[in-house]
Structure 1
Amino acid sequence: MAAPVDLDLAFAADPELGPELRRAAGAWLDPLEGADLWHSLLSGWLGQLASELPPQLRAPAYSLGLSLVGDAEIAALNADWRAQDGPTDVLAFAARDEGLDDTPPLPMPSWADPEDDPAGSRGPAEPLELGDIVISVETASRQAPGHGHGLERELRFLASHGLLHLLGWDHPDEASLTAMLARQERLLTTPGQPE
């Protein structure tokens, strides 16, 4: 199992989500304990994926946002960013989306490589910003029974899907969707992960 990577995680869970959802999601929605759980999970996944990443996404440290919201908030984002009506389960807003323009991704500054500064005199590396993952807990709660598992696992499944999108994975056809879902399953079944 790969070592977790350094991760700066901005985590938020909508405090307006109802008590039934909070019970079903357990600690994953808690502002403090949830932040620790998500940080551990996502940094572990980034460690596992490190060798698969293209050079422009390899970094000693990462930064990303994870927001757990209700249907109304994700529906507004879905309408604004995808011109789609209604809620969806997960949205990923990649900070390094090469499709937005013809400029290449920004290179990591040389000072961010610990090999260039073994004494650490320049301080810690600036994290590579990956973007934001937004998950609708309400939609996830409706979907979970149909997938044969509880809300906690559905949230982790959606987070893995969002993370892979931030790292450049996409599923424009059935074959690429199958490959992406298989990679998600390997992330979710890594030893030491919650069931």
Structure 2
Amino acid sequence: MSLKLEWVDERSDGAGAGESGWPALLERLLNEAGAAEGVADGIVTLTLTDNDGIRELNRQFRGLDKATDVLSFPMREQGSDELEILYEDDYETATIEIGPDGADEADEREADEAEDQTAGFGLIEELLGDIVISVPRMHEQAEEYGHSAERELGFLFVHGFLHLLGYDHGDEAAEREMFAKQEEILASAGLGR
């Protein structure tokens, strides 16, 4: 498995000029950020929207009736590396038989049964969460900060990705840590300041 980016464009006018390189840029950033944070597998969904679309989401989920630049919706439980999925078989107890040589014969049988049960089924990939970016706001901020649209898009994407992993900027120390990680990742991808 690997990190995968799913892409949704909700803008009524679709992709604009100069956006053809965005998918490759965002895939590269996802892999850079994943490597920096030790995340090798999972799916991130990115939705590109406009100011009205992100304003509605911001109002609905955060109670703030205003447009913003990026929103993140993590699927992981905070404080947990991985969600535990229990299947019916996980609740059954196993009888352990010890062979004449002291070996645990049940372990080998259970491994064979588990392999038989999963044959033909791929592993379920973890959904890390959704990132939503307002493209008009991203362009406004790129102009305001005097850098490229790609730099601002990368900044917002990495910012959103770190939120999916549980980072926040609620206080000064947390903000310094998160923004330092963002800049490290952006620099490694060639989008430094």
Whole-Å separation in 2 of the counterparts to 1:108 and 1:186: 34
Whole-Å separation in 1 of the counterparts to 2:157 and 2:128: 13
Whole-Å separation in 1 of the counterparts to 2:13 and 2:139: 12
User: Is the contact made by 2:5 and 2:44 (CA closer than 8 Å) also made in structure 1?
Assistant: yes
Whole-Å separation in 1 of the counterparts to 2:77 and 2:84: 14
Sort the Cα spacing of 1:141 and 1:44 in 2 relative to 1 into closer, same or farther, 3 A: same
- In the TM superposition, residue 86 of structure 1 has moved relative to its aligned partner by 1.3
Q: Hey, what does 2:101 align to over in structure 1?
A: none
User: Is the contact made by 1:74 and 1:135 (CA closer than 8 Å) also made in structure 2?
Assistant: yes
Q: Which runs of 5+ in 2 are unaligned?
A: 87-113
Q: Hey, what does 2:19 align to over in structure 1?
A: 26
Larger Rg, first or second structure (1 or 2):
2
Give the one of 49, 72, 83 matched to 2:63.
Answer: 83
- Identity value in percent: 34
Q: Hey, what does 1:47 align to over in structure 2?
A: 35
Whole-Å separation in 2 of the counterparts to 1:67 and 1:93: 11
Number of residues of Structure 1 aligned to a counterpart in Structure 2: 164
TM-score (norm 1): 0.71
The residue correspondences of 1:8-27 to structure 2 (distance < 5 A) are 8-17=4-13, 22-23=16-17, 25-27=18-20
- In the TM superposition, residue 77 of structure 1 has moved relative to its aligned partner by 0.2
Q: Hey, what does 1:177 align to over in structure 2?
A: 175
Three-state SS of the structure 2 residue aligned to 1:12 is strand
Three-state SS of the structure 1 residue aligned to 2:19 is helix
Sort the Cα spacing of 1:133 and 1:154 in 2 relative to 1 into closer, same or farther, 3 A: same
Amino acid at match of 1:48: A
Q: Which runs of 5+ in 1 are unaligned?
A: 29-33, 51-57, 110-115
User: Is the contact made by 1:140 and 1:155 (CA closer than 8 Å) also made in structure 2?
Assistant: yes
- Within the alignment, does 1:63 sit opposite 2:61 as a pair? no
TM-score (norm 2): 0.72
User: CA RMSD, aligned part only?
Assistant: 3.1
- In the TM superposition, residue 123 of structure 1 has moved relative to its aligned partner by 5.8
- Select the structure with the greater relative contact order (CA < 8 A; seq sep ≥ 6): 2
User: Is the contact made by 2:11 and 2:48 (CA closer than 8 Å) also made in structure 1?
Assistant: no
Whole-Å separation in 1 of the counterparts to 2:11 and 2:55: 17
